[in-house]
Amino acid sequence: SSWEQIAMPTRLLTAQWSTGRDTPPAYPPEAVERFQKELKTLAMVKTVPGVDHAASIMSPVGARATAELLSEAL
């Protein structure tokens, strides 16, 4: 997987939904759990509740979550 090629510590921000309210997430809990077990570089995973994939960065709540992860990384 492309994820396994990442060599630097990584933070993953996921959304509750994929393409709109109540759609299945792109990264369901089972996938996140698998990533956490298998990817040595994955430092943390945070799911933003109440947003879909686009809103995970393009909404106030998503932008705040992104800024928090960036601040932690710096």
Q: Give 23-74 pLDDT, tens digit per residue.
A: 999 999 999 999 889 898 999 999 999 999 999 999 999 999 999 999 988 8
Which residues in 1-74 belong to E strands, given as ranges? 10-15, 42-48
| 42-48 and 10-15 strand pairing | parallel
| pTM exceeds cut of 0.85 | no
Question: Which residues, at least 6 apart from 55, have a Cβ–Cβ distance to it below 8 Å?
Answer: 15, 48, 61, 62
Q: Which residue has the tokens 């709540």?
A: 61
Q: In whole angstroms, what is the distance from residue 70 CA to residue 2 CA? A: 22
Residue of 44, 30, 31 whose CA lies nearest to 1: 31
